[in-house]
Amino acid sequence: MTLVGAGPGGADLITVRGANALRQADVIVYDRLADPELVDFAPAAAERICVGKGKGFGPSQSDICEVIVSRARAGLHVVRLKGGDPFVFGRGGEEVEAVESAGIDVEVVPGVSSALGAPLLAGISLTDRRLASSFTVLSGHHCAVSDHDWHTSAQSAATLVVLMAASTADAVAQRLIESGRAPLDPVAFVHAAGTDEQRVAYCDLTETARRGCPFPSPTVMVVGPVAARTTSPQMPSIEDRLLASVAG
């Protein structure tokens, strides 16, 4: 079994090793965030199984693991294709553990995480030395409902990158402000990075807390000075900046 990271968006952002694994697959088990074109890298006879999950739909993690293990036990080369990097909030570790527990060999092929790829594709330097010396990656799904250390995140000078932020950006922003992060700290949203549908919008934490994310999933949220695209003290509204990004 081969676990492959699909990269942050377009099919051409997968690694060469990942693409080669797909070309040798008997079965592809893939997520909804992986570019659909990648599935066509596999031989025409390969079985294609979509196990994409979303809010309120999709198979359980145990069901996904069972699909992988059952096909691999039958002697088939299973490629598990996951968006971004499979070990960055991707449950790849759980799947590797399940397969290895069944006595099956696993190869892991890394992918470019959207935590890195999405900001870069939007022209955002996470560690521009003039503005930030480090960055922290958070999960929007977990942060909005867990006992995350908001004080540390708020007081840190690090750039914050929030994955899976489409439905929780308002809650994340509110908790950062309540914990001491500057209300006017810049925010950028990068939607569908690396694809023809890529869009970028800019605002600040206050506006994000009030209005949330302007895009559906998949969207990456970046918080910190590196997310600003203007030196004006009055940042345009999220609608104005979204229109400008679409027009550009």
The reply to whether 119 and 242 lie within a common domain is: yes
Measured in degrees and rounded to the nearest 5, phi and psi for residue 161 equal: -115, 120
For the domain that residue 159 is a member of, what is the CATH number?
A: 3.30.950.10
Q: Which of 86, 109, 132 is the last residue of a domain?
A: 109
pLDDT averaged over the chain?
89
Whether residue 35 is predicted with pLDDT greater than 90 in this model: the reply is no
Q: Can you give the residue range of the structural domain that contains 141?
A: 114-247
Neighbours of 73 (CB within 10 A): 14
Q: Which of 206, 127, 129 is nearest to 160 (CA)?
A: 127
The reply to whether 154 and 60 lie within a common domain is: no
Q: State residue 54's pLDDT score.
A: 62
- Rounded mean pLDDT, 112-128: 95
Q: Which of 94, 109, 124 is the last residue of a domain?
A: 109
The reply to whether 68 and 125 lie within a common domain is: no
Instruction: Output the CA angle 5-106-46, nearest 5 degrees.
Output: 70
Cβ 156 vs Cβ 137: under 8 Å: no
The reply to whether 152 and 176 lie within a common domain is: yes
The reply to whether 38 and 151 lie within a common domain is: no
The reply to whether 99 and 126 lie within a common domain is: no
Q: Three-state DSSP class for 246?
A: helix
CA gap 35, 14 in Å, rounded: 10
The reply to whether 103 and 121 lie within a common domain is: no
Q: Which of 88, 109, 130 is the last residue of a domain?
A: 109
The reply to whether 91 and 121 lie within a common domain is: no
- One-letter identity of residue 33: L
Q: For the chain, count helices (H), then strands (E).
A: 10, 10
The reply to whether 91 and 140 lie within a common domain is: no
Catalogue the E-assigned strands of the chain.
2-5, 27-30, 47-50, 78-82, 107-109, 135-139, 159-163, 186-191, 199-204, 219-223
Residue bearing the bigger pLDDT, 231 or 115: 115
Residue 200, both tokens: 């970028």
The reply to whether 101 and 118 lie within a common domain is: no
Q: Which of 226, 11, 34, 241 is nearest to 129 (CA)?
A: 226
Neighbours of 238 (CB within 10 A): 21
Sorting pLDDT into bands at 50, 70 and 90, what band is 2?
A: very high
Whether residue 230 is predicted with pLDDT greater than 50 in this model: the reply is no
Q: State residue 234's pLDDT score.
A: 41
Sorting pLDDT into bands at 50, 70 and 90, what band is 168?
A: very high
Instruction: Give the active site residues.
Output: 31, 53
Question: What total of structural domains would you count in the chain?
Answer: 2
